[in-house]
Structure 1
Amino acid sequence: MPGANEGNKVKVDYTGKYKDSGEVFDTSEGREPLEFVLGQGMVIAGFEKAIIGLNPGDKTSIEVPPEEGYGTSRPELVFEVRKEQLPPNIAPEVGMMLEVATESGETAYMRIADVSEEMVTLDGNHPLADKTLLFDLELVEVS
């Protein structure tokens, strides 16, 4: 059997953990396997690379550095706004996610990183940026 290859639709059971703490941040356990097409950039590069060549039933454990995961933090995506610039119905809390319109009219998601008396720090980096991730993977199906 040639194994999973670019263009194949695959179903994968997985558990993702932070390397530094071992804490699980996501898993397919108790849910349907993750389904995606290899080679279309639907999942992070390190995850996708690990699936190439596997056959249904194969299991593997991998380490994904930030460069093959969610990238490294970009300081230009962190900025402060005055509290009154937020919608009046929002009581900002650290960790809260906000949907904001960019200057080009697109939607971006920002995490509240800090709240002071007058200012709110917004962070547009992915919450898993800078993290080395561990995944336990099992290829369930290839079509």
Structure 2
Amino acid sequence: MPELTINKDSLVTIRVRMSDLQGNLLEETPEEGVAYLHGHADIFPKIEAALEGLKKGDKASVRLEPEDAFGEFDPDAVFVTDVEKLGDPETIVPGLVFDHVPGEANDGRHYRVTDVADGKAVLDANHPLAGWGLAFDITVLNVEDTDGKEAVGMDDTVVPSFLGFADKIIDEGDDEDDASEESPEPVTRH
């Protein structure tokens, strides 16, 4: 039986090392790798294209410019606000994530606290790697033919956020655009 190659609906297990363009390791998957369903936009398109047609044991190196990864840094996505607007000042620390900026329309993005000083907090909706060029070294650990059957019930939570779309925020809930003056609830801490 010929070895399976990666194509649409292949269940692929890969091991990945992500570095900056100076070669500094930023993230890596566990030795056993992570699985994703190929052809379903779960990972960056250029990485997916580089893996197309590969088989178990093959390796690929992919370089992504900022526009192909987490985008350019957008200075308009950074806000400074009074710490009190976010809640108890003692609990507002870098890494805390909120679902909107107080007093602004909810734009569906999450804002990470990047700095707290002198009663002010800096909120940043940019991905932490926005503006970075990235290098990915990938080893294909396994390829399974699914005929699309495994697509039902799979989601991108098996794919680490540094591979692409797992961390992109899509707000399918409240479509309300009204500005909120209430203190937002923290979403998570990174």
Partner of 1:84: helix, strand, or coil? Answer: helix
Q: Does 1:46 pair with 2:53?
A: no
Q: Structure 1 or 2: larger helix share?
A: 2
Assess if the C-alpha contact under 8 Å between 2:100 and 2:111 holds in 1.
no
**Which residue does the alignment assign to 1:14?**
16
Find runs of 4+ consecutive structure 1 residues off by over 3 angstroms: 101-106
For 1:3 and 1:122, the matched residues in 2 are separated by 44
Q: Give the distance between the partners of 1:44 and 1:105, measured in 2 at CA.
A: 23
Number of residue pairs matched? 138
Which structure has the highest strand share of the two? 1
Q: TM-score, normalised by structure 2?
A: 0.64
Say yes or no: does 1:37 pair with 2:37. Answer: yes
> 1:16 touches 1:24 (CA, 8 Å); kept in 2?
yes
The whole-number CA distance in structure 2 between the counterparts of 1:97 and 1:44 is: 26
Higher mean alpha-carbon deviation, 79-88 vs 68-77, is at 68-77
* Percent identity of paired positions between Structure 1 and Structure 2: 25
RMSD over aligned Cα atoms:
2.2
- Letter paired with 1:113: T
Alignment match, 2:131: 130
| 1:97 to partner: Cα distance | 3.1
Q: Is the radius of gyration larger for structure 1 or structure 2?
A: 2
Unaligned runs of 5+ in 1: none
Distance 1:123 1:116 in 2: 15
Distance 1:91 1:121 in 2: 10
